Chain A
Amino acid sequence: MSIINLIKIALKALQRNKLRAFLTMLGIIIGVASVIAMMAIGQGSKQSIQTSLSGMGSNMINIMPKSKDVGGVRIGGSNYQTLTMKDVKAIQKNAIGIDGISPIVSSSGQSIRGSNNWPTSITGVSTDYLHIRQLSLKDGIMFSETDILTSAKVCILGKTVIDNLFPNGENPIGQYIRFNKTPFQVIGTLVPKGQSNFGQDQDDIILTPYTTVQNRITASTIYLQSIMVSAASLAISDSATENIKSIMRETHHLKESDEDDFDVRTQAELIKTIGSTSSMLTVLLTSIAGISLLIGGIGIMNIMYVSVTERTREIGLRMSIGARGIDILMQFLIEAIMISITGGLIGVALGIASSQLVAVFVHWPILISESSIILSFFVCGITGIFFGYYPALKASRLDPIEALRYE
Chain B
Amino acid sequence: MSKIILDIQHLKRDFIMGEETVHALKGISFTISAGEFVTIMGSSGSGKTTLLNILGCLDKPSAGNYFLDGVNVKELDRNKLAGLRNTKIGFVFQAYNLLARTSALENVELPLFYNKKVSASLRKEKGLKALEAVKLSNRADHTPNQLSGGQQQRVAIARALINDPVMILADEATGNLDTKTSYEIMALMQELNEQGKTIVFVTHEPDIAAFSSRTIILKDGKILKDSLNENKRSAKEALAALPVSDDN
Which A residues lie at the B interface, using CB under 8 A? 1-2, 5, 8-9, 12, 15-16, 313-314, 316-327, 400-401, 404
Q: Complex formed: what's the CA distance from A1 to B118 in Å?
A: 10
Binds A, one of B19-27, B63-71, B83-91, B226-234: B83-91
- Interchain residue pairs A-B with the least CB separation, the first 9: A322-B86, A324-B82, A322-B114, A321-B111, A16-B101, A317-B97, A324-B79, A5-B113, A322-B85
Q: Complex formed: what's the CA distance from A8 to B222 in Å?
A: 45
Residues of chain B within 8 A (CB-CB) of A317 are 93, 97, 99
Q: Interface residue tally of chain B, by bracket?
A: 20 to 34
A16-B102, A322-B82, A325-B79 in contact; A1/B58 too (CB < 8 A)?
A: no
Q: Complex formed: what's the CA distance from A5 to B114 in Å?
A: 8
Chain B residue at smallest Cβ distance from A319? B82
Which one of B91, B99, B106, B159 has the greatest number of beta carbons of chain A within 10 Å?
B99
Chain B residue at smallest Cβ distance from A16? B101
Smallest Cβ distance from A318 to chain B, in angstroms?
7
What would 9 more interface pairs be, CB under 8 Å, given A8-B113, A322-B86, A327-B114?
Answer: A12-B102, A16-B99, A317-B99, A318-B110, A318-B114, A319-B58, A320-B56, A321-B159, A322-B85
Q: Is the CB of B116 within 8 A of A322?
A: no
Q: Is the CB of B114 within 8 A of A1?
A: yes
Residues of chain A within 8 A (CB-CB) of B56 are 320
Task: Give which listed residue, B97, B106, B114, contacts A404 with CB less than 8 A.
Answer: B97
Question: B115 contacts the other chain (Cβ, under 8 Å)?
Answer: yes
Q: Complex formed: what's the CA distance from A1 to B79 in Å?
A: 12
Q: Is the CB of A322 within 8 A of B100?
A: no
Chain A residue at smallest Cβ distance from B143? A16
Q: Complex formed: what's the CA distance from A320 to B58 in Å?
A: 7
Q: Complex formed: what's the CA distance from A320 to B79 in Å?
A: 12
Q: Complex formed: what's the CA distance from A243 to B111 in Å?
A: 75
Question: B179 contacts the other chain (Cβ, under 8 Å)?
Answer: no
Q: Complex formed: what's the CA distance from A317 to B82 in Å?
A: 11
Q: Is the CB of B97 within 8 A of A313?
A: yes
Question: B3 contacts the other chain (Cβ, under 8 Å)?
Answer: no
Q: Complex formed: what's the CA distance from A5 to B87 in Å?
A: 17
A321-B91, A324-B78, A325-B79 in contact; A1/B116 too (CB < 8 A)?
A: yes
